Each structure stands twice: as C-alpha cells, then as structure tokens.
Amino acid sequence: MRSIRTKIIIVMVIAILIGMATVGGISIGAIRTLANQDAATAMTLLSDNKRRVLNQYMDSIEQSVEMVSNYAQETLDSASLAMGGVIGMDGSGAGLEDRRWDSIAQQAMDSYLRTFTGKVETVFRSVSNHTNSVISYYFRLNPEITRQESGFFYARINSPDFTAMPPVAVLDYPDTDISWVGWYYLPLRRGESSWLDPYYNQNLGVRMISYVTPLYKADTFIGVIGMDIAYSTLVSQVEEVEVYESGYAFLMDNSGNILYHPDMESGPTIADSLPELAQAAQRSREEGVATLAQYEYQGVKKMVVCSTLNNGLTLAIAAPLDEVNANWTRLTPRILINGFLILLVFSAIMSLLLTRITRPLKHLTAASRRLAEGDYNLQLNYKGNDEVGILTGAFQQLVDHLKVYISDLNSKAYKDAMTGVRNKGAFEIFSRMLNDLIQTSGQEQHAFAIVMMDCNELKGVNDHCGHDKGDIYLQNACALICRIFANSPVFRLGGDEFAAILQQEDYQHRDQLLRDFDQQAAEITARATQPWETINISKGMAVYDPAQDDSVDSVLRRADQLMYENKAQMKAGRR
C-alpha cells in the first residue's frame, strides 16, 4: 500500500510531466516553426540578394543592347531605305522578293548601310567597353536587304581587347542550328528583345548566354543587335553561394532542365525525378516571386528556394533539412535536459514539503494502529494550525474520551457493585494473564497462592433479618478480607464466595495473614450485637505447585476443596 506522501508525489510528478510535456511540446513546436521561418527567411533573402546581383548584371547587358538599338532605330534614315527599296516610298514595308542586287538603288543602299553600320559600331564599341563581362557584341544585317554589308562582330577570347571577327554567314546554316545562328533566328521569330538560354557557340568555341534585339524599320527587319556573356561568368556567381554547411545554388532553364548543378550533370529535366522542385520552379516563373519547397535528392531531404532571373532562368538555392533544422534540433535536448532538472528540483522540494505535511499523518496512522490494538496510552504532539493539526487534536480528544469511557466500562464490567471489589469476570482475566506468564516465563518463576473464602450463615441472615442486612454482612466480611490481604487482588466470585490471589509480600506472609484473619474475625464477632455484624467465614488456601499444577484453575480447585473441608469442620465444631 502506497503512503499518502507517495501518492501525492506521484500525482504531482505526473502533473508536472504533463505540464512539461505540454509546454515543452508547444515550445519545441514554436521553436521549430520559428527556426524554419528564420531559415526560410534567410534562404529567401540570400536568393533575393543573389538574384538581384545577377539581374543587375543582366540589366546592364539589356540596357547596353537597348541603348545601341535605340540609337540605331533613331539613326536609320527612312528616305535612304526607301530609295534603296527596303521600305516603300510612303514609309511602309516593301517586298524584298524581286530585289536586283546589282542595281544602282541597291548600290546606294549598300553604301548607306556601310555608313550606318560604322556609326552603330562606334557607339557599340564605347558601350561594350563600359559593360562588364561582355565577350562579344555584334550587329548583323538582314542578308535580304544587302549582300555587300553584313554588319560587324567583335569578340575577346583570351584577350582583354575586342577583336573584329568576320560575321557569321547566316544563310549558310539552317535556321534550326542554334549553335551557329540561334542568336539570329530566335529573336527574329519572337519579334522582340530576348535572352537566349545558354548554348555552345561554334564560332567562338565557348558556352555563352546572349541578349539580342531585332531592329525594324517600317515593319521591315533590318538586323539584330546583341551582346554575349560567357556562361561561366553566370556560373561563377552561382558557385559563390554558400548555405549552411553544405548548401549550394544551381540553375535551371524554363523547361526544368538542369543547366548547372554541383552534383548533377547538366541536361536532364527534373519534372519526373524531382516533381516538388519542378513545381516550385514553375510557380516562381508564373508568380514572379521566390518559392519555397522541400524535396529529396540522393536520400537527403532538402529545403529549396526557387526564383526566376530576368533572362528566364531559375536560380535555386538548396540546403539539407538537417542543417536547416540544426538550431532547433540542438535546442531540443537542452529543453529536455532542463525540463528533467526542473522536474528533479521540484520533486525534491515537494518531497521535503510533503515530508513535513505527512509526518503528523504518519504519527496519526501509527496511533490509530495502536488504538486498534487496544493501547489507549497515546499522546500526539502535533499542534499545527492546519487541517492535519485539527484532525490530530480531534483524534487526541477521541482517544482521551475513549480512555475514560473504556476505563468506566472496565470499572463497571469487572467490579462488584455491592462490595466494590473485582468480580468473577475480572478474576478470569487475571487468571488468563497469570497463566500466560506461567507458560511464557516458566512455572518456577511465579509463586502464588489462592485463598478461597465462603461467608457462612448468609442465608439465615437474609431469611430472618432481610436481604439488606445480608448485604451489610457481606460488606463487613469483604472489608476484613481486603484489610488482611491489602497487597493482593480480592475477587467476589459468587453470592457469598470471595477469593484472594496472594503474591510477593502477601504470599511470603500467607500463614501469618490467615492467623490474623481468624483473630480479627473472632474479635469482630465478639463485639457484635446483631447477627449481621458477625463475621463467620470458611476458608481454604492452596499454594501453586509446579509439580502438580499446570494452571491457575488447578490451584483454585484445591483451594476450593480445602475451603469446603474447613466449612465442614466449622459446622462440626458448632454441634
């Protein structure tokens, strides 16, 4: 059976555990949410910063090309183009199918375009020299309006300066050959300024990214103006990205194809293998904002932020979730350890407090057990001004009242009402106690004698003088018995029978006490004037003999026998 203290501690510990589990769970969840939000914010900011850097770089390319394109647009002379048959005399577009390449008009057109191209070249050279990381710039005229002039093409490969290179003969290649003439035909088909996806330029032998704008006059295609930047320049910017311990950045095109990845080969689409990543990239392109997602690559769960660059490519920044969650993961054991320490401290404090509270309860429990066993000599000292103190005081009062009540009951139950000595019930209890002592301590260690006494002539007094005089007769006889055997218990066993159990001093002087009894009885009888004032008692004394007595009853029987023999002798003497 568990004590109240143990039960209270168990309940309190369970309550604390539930509270700690609830608070700890909420705290860990909140920390995890905040940590994830912080991580997402940090990665989004990193993505935005890197995207801003790349976009600023590409914006500078766009601005340079658009500046040259606007200059060329404004410089084009409609009259010269009309005279050359490139546009109609009314400023509208003209058909170029039936051109005569050896006509005077065409020669004038070629001469004009040569001058015009020189002006554009001068401006373009100045602009390109002030634009970072440009590896080539060009103005390619439409071969359908001139066969003599093709434009210009400048590049710098392994050199700090731009070098003039022969323009690509676009008519020598099919319009589907991206590596040679994609920079020419793709903007033409789109009809607007365009960024081209990274491609390998066969002419220069490098992988590059191009921004090209088509030049029109009166809806007539004049040519393309463009700049190329090395793909490696873009990649180097992406390679600089560091996220947590092993995070990285990579590039995808608008079809979900990998362009650059530190671990994956370029080319394969992620639509099937990494659908979550593909969906995040798609949302970023559609919504124009950074998009968060999670995916698993090579058995490692990762968080990724996808954002779309100005050239249509997708910049993705990814980091393992273990690293993203490292902060709150490290905090979790600390929370648990601190919670355990708090539990220990609270448990220790509760144990001390409950010990003070339950100590009087323990004393009260022990007292109730003693009370149940019949021990009424209890004294509880707790005087606390609390419920336990009130209960202890009430219990002490109950014990005190019970002691008085039981004492009163014992007095009434084991005391003869008329004579005031112990009754037969008390004699039986005393006999049992004496028997127990004989059995447990040895018969030789308990010397005692029993004196049986019978009041003679009680019937005659009752019959002739009344029962009230018979009571006086018994009371006088009992008084003498108690006076002679003052150190021994005296019992009234029946109407006229008494017994005294002699021990210690009375036992040692038992024969003398019997003689004193006879002498005083005779003196009282001699002085008596009424029959009920006399004392006429038969008696018999038996001494406990271990050799022949195995109990108090055995001694009592011998004493009773001797008493009846004495009674017979007294009757015989009166005759």
Residue 191 near residue 212 (C-beta atoms within 8 A):
no
Across 114-128, 389-403, 413-427, 444-458, the highest mean pLDDT is recorded for 114-128
Residue 211 near residue 61 (C-beta atoms within 8 A):
yes
pLDDT at residue number 60: 92
The token pair at 496 is: 């006229």
CA distance 85 to 88: 7
Diameter over CA atoms, the chain: 198
Residue 257 near residue 267 (C-beta atoms within 8 A):
yes
pLDDT, tens digit (0-9, with 9 covering 90-100), for 136-194 = 999 999 998 888 899 999 999 888 889 999 999 999 999 899 889 999 999 999 999 99
pLDDT at residue number 328: 63
Please determine, for residue 415, whether its predicted confidence score (pLDDT) is greater than 60. Answer: yes
Stronger pLDDT, 558 or 334, i.e. the higher one? 558
Which long-range contacts link 187-194 to residues 24+ away (Cβ below 8 Å)?
187/212, 187/213, 187/214, 187/224, 187/226, 188/214, 188/221, 188/224, 193/62, 193/65, 193/66, 193/69
Please determine, for residue 325, whether its predicted confidence score (pLDDT) is greater than 60. Answer: yes
CA distance 37 to 23: 20
Task: Give the domain range for residue 464.
Answer: 414-574
Overall residue count recorded for the chain in this entry: 575
Residue 164 belongs to domain with CATH number: 3.30.450.20
pLDDT at residue number 404: 64
Please determine, for residue 449, whether its predicted confidence score (pLDDT) is greater than 80. Answer: yes
Residue 466 near residue 451 (C-beta atoms within 8 A):
no
Phi, psi of 308 (to 5 degrees): -95, 130
> 7 lies in a domain?
no
pLDDT at residue number 329: 67
Q: How does DSSP assign 399-451, residue by residue? A: HHHHHHHHHHHHHHHSB-TTT-SB-HHHHHHHHHHHHHHHHHH-GGG--EEEE
Least confident of 36-50, 210-224, 242-256, 521-535: 36-50
pLDDT at residue number 388: 67
Return all residues near 329 (Cβ < 8 A) that are at least 6 apart. 322
pLDDT at residue number 550: 85
pTM value > 0.75: no
Which of 167, 201, 233 is the last residue in one of the domains? 233
> 180 lies in a domain?
yes
Q: How does DSSP assign 232-268, residue by residue? A: HHHHHHHHT--BTTTBEEEEE-TTSBEEE-SSSPSS-
Can you name the residues that pair with 498 across neighbouring β-strands? Answer: 453, 492
pLDDT at residue number 395: 66
pLDDT, tens digit (0-9, with 9 covering 90-100), for 23-51 = 667 766 666 666 667 777 888 888 889 88
Confidence label for 115 from pLDDT (cuts 50, 70 and 90): very high
> 14 lies in a domain?
no
What number is the average pLDDT over the span 220-241? 91
| Tally of helices (H runs) and strands (E runs) in the chain | 15, 16
Residue 145 near residue 172 (C-beta atoms within 8 A):
no
Can you name the residues that pair with 154 across neighbouring β-strands? Answer: 137, 164
Number of domains in the chain: 2
pLDDT at residue number 141: 94
Confidence label for 375 from pLDDT (cuts 50, 70 and 90): low
Confidence label for 366 from pLDDT (cuts 50, 70 and 90): confident
> 501 lies in a domain?
yes
Which of 208, 233, 258 is the last residue in one of the domains? 233
CA distance 456 to 325: 110
How would you classify the pairing of strands 291-297 and 194-195?
unpaired
Please determine, for residue 100, whether its predicted confidence score (pLDDT) is greater than 70. Answer: no
Confidence label for 457 from pLDDT (cuts 50, 70 and 90): confident
What number is the average pLDDT over the span 258-271? 80
pLDDT at residue number 94: 56
Which of 217, 233, 249 is the last residue in one of the domains? 233
Confidence label for 19 from pLDDT (cuts 50, 70 and 90): confident
Confidence label for 565 from pLDDT (cuts 50, 70 and 90): very high
Residue 510 belongs to domain with CATH number: 3.30.70.270
Please determine, for residue 575, whether its predicted confidence score (pLDDT) is greater than 60. Answer: no
Report percent pLDDT > 90 for the chain.
Answer: 36
The token pair at 85 is: 């048959």
What number is the average pLDDT over the span 382-411? 67
Q: Measuring CA to CA, which residue among 553, 421, 535 is closest to residue 488?
A: 421
> 479 lies in a domain?
yes
**Number of C-alpha atoms within 13 angstroms, CB side, residue 134?**
29
CA distance 195 to 186: 9
Please give the C-alpha separations between residue 439 and each of 434, 435, 436, 550, in angstroms, as whole numbers.
Answer: 9, 6, 5, 9
Report percent pLDDT > 70 for the chain.
Answer: 82
> 177 lies in a domain?
yes
pLDDT at residue number 488: 92
CA distance 194 to 359: 89
3-state secondary structure of 165: coil
Give the type of residue at 47: S
pLDDT at residue number 518: 92
What number is the average pLDDT over the span 482-507? 92
Return all residues near 150 (Cβ < 8 A) that are at least 6 apart. 140, 141, 143, 167, 169
Please determine, for residue 132, whether its predicted confidence score (pLDDT) is greater than 80. Answer: yes
> 202 lies in a domain?
yes
CA distance 165 to 154: 6
Q: How does DSSP assign 355-390, residue by residue? A: HHHHHHHHHHHHHHHHHHTT----------SSHHHH
> 135 lies in a domain?
yes
CA distance 564 to 415: 26
What number is the average pLDDT over the span 559-566? 93
Confidence label for 227 from pLDDT (cuts 50, 70 and 90): very high
What number is the average pLDDT over the span 332-356? 73
